[in-house]
Amino acid sequence: MELQVKPKSKKWKGNFGLYFSLPILSWAFYDFANTIFSSNINTIFFPFFLQEQIGENAVLDQIASTFISYANAIASLFLVLFSPLFGVMIDRTGKMKKYIMIFTLISVVCTFLMGVFGGMPLDGKILGIPISLAIVILLFVIAKFFYHSSLVFYDTMMSDLGTKQQLPLISGFGVAVGYLGTLVGLSIYPFISKGSSHEAFIPTAILFLVFSLPLFFFLKESPKQQKAKEPFLSGYKEIKSTFKEMRSYRSVFTFMIAYFFLNDAIATTIGMMAVYAKTVVGFSSSGFILLYLVSTVSSIAGSFLFGYITQSKGPRLAVTYVGVLLLVALFIAVFAQTALWFWVAGSMFGISLGSMWVTSRTYIIELTPDEKRGQFFGLFAFSGKVSSIIGPLLYGTITLIFHDLGTLASRMALGSLIIMAIIGLGFLLKLKGLEEVK
């Protein structure tokens, strides 16, 4: 039996009751589930897999970085085309869980098949790439696209879970629970054979599915009045109309631009940190896993902390604090000459990564009107994914052009993200004087 989500009408006795209500706990467990996919596939084992398949020296490692960057960029390109329409679908139908379930299952199947084909050497090549490797890359692109697509619906769902005062705490709790998923996901590492990172794909798919089940079975959406059915692609007309109304939503669009640049730095770092740590700083695979664990613990702590900072200082200031922390972490990572400094950078990046999700989605809810919330979440996903194309493309192009320079090429590529973070902070400062849309 499904449970109706109506926590807004309840009198919560402290945050404990808020966090551990079945609707919110079920919602948070989906963050737990999808973070297993994000960390295991996007950040760790898919980059490891490509490096095993391509990288044999400092120059080829840069080529592997280019492959990783471009695969991430292609997945983001498809999301750019469709995420605004997803937001319109939410506002028209009020349905979110249905699409979360469909998109999750597609992502799970593709991740599972990555494991099947990753361990199945096939004869022949496509564009100079072994067929099995090409299939795994294609499956990764599809899996990542549907994983990110589900998040448009998932993030919008948060606005139905509590009052305006409760939302920063709910957001922080969800992100913190999500990063606990990272720890569970990494528990498979001791069972992965050396040089066989594809062995992580199938268990990751299973874990992703299992921990998505609470949302599938125990969370029911609040009923909403549905608008008249129209062709799917007609949603672009509504998006065009929203852009024309930009003057009425000046704060929203200014934050969208700021988020574009900050997310550019974050998304690219997430995809490239494994290869960067190994090839530039000299971490072993096990050493990077330990670094990632420490970074994850920092993310958990930062998520809870920034939930309260957001509630106390407001989301705009909280996002600004996160942006400054991200900028400092990037500076340290670019110029780090020893593993110690990279440990510091990794911990700071962990805090900023978790906290960015907490603060930004709370800020979106504060800035946007209820009747256009789904559409604006779709547009923010659009903004984030456009940046997720540009960042990896820029990173990959720099490593490709300057691959003969070895590790210096990667430092130059990561350094380009500092510029993105500075621009994002500049737009956040512009928000200070703007009237927020209620």
- Work out how many domains the chain is built from and give that number: 1
In a domain, 323, yes or no: yes
pLDDT beyond 50 at 3: no
Q: Report the SS3 class of residue 258.
A: helix
Q: Does residue 205 fall inside a structural domain? A: yes
pLDDT tens digit sequence for 165-176: 777 777 777 777
**DSSP code for 162:** S
Q: What is the pLDDT of residue 277?
A: 83
Residue 11 lies in a domain: no
The pLDDT confidence band at residue 13, using thresholds 50, 70 and 90, is very low
438 in a structural domain: no
The phi-psi region of residue 284 (left if phi > 0; otherwise alpha if psi is between -120 and 50; otherwise beta) is beta
Would you give the end-to-end CA distance of the chain in angstroms?
36
> pLDDT at residue 241 above 60?
yes
Written as one letter, the residue type at 72 is N
User: Can you tell me the mean pLDDT for 368-384?
Assistant: 70
Domain with residue 282: its CATH number is 1.20.1250.20
Lowest mean pLDDT among 287-291, 317-321, 405-409, 421-425: 405-409
* 266 located within any domain: yes
DSSP tag of 417: H
Residue 119 in any domain: the answer is: yes
**341-360 confidence digits (pLDDT tens):** 889 988 898 888 878 877 88
Structure tokens at 381: 């996903």
Instruction: Please say if the pLDDT value at position 204 is more than 90.
Output: yes
C-alpha to C-alpha distance for 147 and 141, rounded to whole angstroms: 10
| Residue 16 within a domain | no
Give pTM, 2 decimals. 0.70
Residue 8 in any domain: the answer is no
CA distance 428 to 186: 35
Q: Give the structural domain span for 194.
A: 24-224+236-431
Share of the chain above pLDDT 70, in %: 78
Among candidates 356, 35, 311, which has minimal Cα distance to 162?
A: 311
How far are the Cα atoms of 50, 85, 241, 386 from residue 368, in angstroms, in the given order?
41, 17, 15, 21
